[in-house]
Amino acid sequence: MTTLNNRIRTLLARLWTAEPLLTGTGIFMAALLLASVVGIWLDPREITGAPAWLKPAKFAASTAIYSLTLAWIFTFLGDWTRTRRWVGRATAFTFFLELAIIDWQAWRGTTSHFNVATSLDTSLFAIMGTAIVLQTMASVAVAVALWRQRFGNRALGWALRLGVAITIVGASTGGLMTGPTADQLAQAEAAGRLTLAGAHTVGGADGGPGLPGTGWSTRHGDLRVPHFVGLHAMQVLPLVPLLTLRHRNEASRVRLTLVAAAAYLVMFAALLVQALRGVPLVSIG
């Protein structure tokens, strides 16, 4: 345990030296995760059937992991100073803005995503959507830099290139959740106004029975599943060349990395099709 803690401190020190803004963002989001977990324990309120502070906790965890991973990736892009600077700033700004809105809406006891019940809710949802689209577009610059960068460890280079590319595709699936559903349009017609515009559940309303921790629907399709898998390709794929570094030659590690990336992409596509067809990842009840 002591050895692991020392390695973590060494890695964080290295990241802080190379990319202090993103590293600081990751550490802050990790602290925000702990605060949200405390909120789940202290605040009994629920929003759409889930603890009020569960969504802030999940987004804090996701943004912390993303920020620290991107900072690590930037250590391989030493010659891309301008790209690292503006992508890092855009990412940090977007994540702070996103978490501020998500936490504020949780504090108010209402939803942050798909909420168009009032002009304030609509504006906040629009700001979040615009910011995350811009951040996703900025990450394309990282993908371009990785494809142009030469790597001494060729397998790791391919893992980073393909991992970031799949992550961008996974992030883009968020757009599939933002259009109003048929039920929402019908309710808006009956009520005279639209209060919800979009959903992550396919074939049912958001907020039904879900898997513990994630809340992924166990009755219907859930677009959060492929979204999650796609987003974390940039963390998963680099593990392949890193874990096989001492056991295989370079050519075999490159082949293994390419096979792993292809398999990961197929898994992501299968989960996306499954969700769009309204089939849950795990069916319970």
Q: Per mean pLDDT, which range of 14-18, 63-67, 281-285 is the poorest?
A: 281-285
Position 181 scores a pLDDT of 86
Per-residue pLDDT at 285: 61
Q: How confident is the model at residue 4 (pLDDT cuts 50, 70, 90)?
A: low
Confidence bin at 226 (pLDDT 50/70/90): very high
- Rounded Cα gap, residues 59 and 103, in angstroms: 10
Residue 261 banded pLDDT, cuts 50, 70, 90: very high
* Nearest partner of 70 among 56, 89, 98, judged by Cα: 89
Query: Domain ranges in the chain?
Result: 1-149, 151-285
Instruction: Please choose, from the candidates 285, 242, 272, the residue with its C-alpha nearest in 3D space to the C-alpha of residue 260.
Output: 242
pLDDT value at residue 1: 63
Give per-residue pLDDT as tens, 193-215: 888 889 999 998 888 888 888 88
| pLDDT > 90? residue 96 | yes
- Per-residue pLDDT band for 6 (boundaries 50, 70, 90) equals confident
CB atoms within 10 A of CB 127: 13
Least confident window among 5-9, 15-19, 27-31, 223-227: 5-9
Cβ-Cβ contacts under 8 Å for 10 (sequence gap 6 or more) = none
Distance CA 157, CA 46 (A): 44
C-alpha to C-alpha distance for 247 and 227, rounded to whole angstroms: 32
Average pLDDT over the chain, rounded to an integer: 92
pLDDT at residue 196 in the model: 87
> Could you give the percent of the chain with pLDDT greater than 90?
74
Q: What is the pLDDT of residue 284?
A: 75
How far apart CA 273 and CA 278 sit, in angstroms, is 9
Whole-number pLDDT of residue 212: 86
Least confident of 180-184, 224-228, 245-249: 245-249
C-beta of residue 218 within 8 angstroms of C-beta of residue 285: yes
Interval 130-165: pLDDT, tens: 999 999 999 999 999 999 999 989 999 999 999 999
The Cα 237–Cα 230 span in angstroms is 11
pTM beyond 0.85: yes
Q: Are the C-beta atoms of 78 and 152 separated by less than 8 Å?
A: no
Q: Per DSSP, what are the bridge partners of residue 46?
A: 51
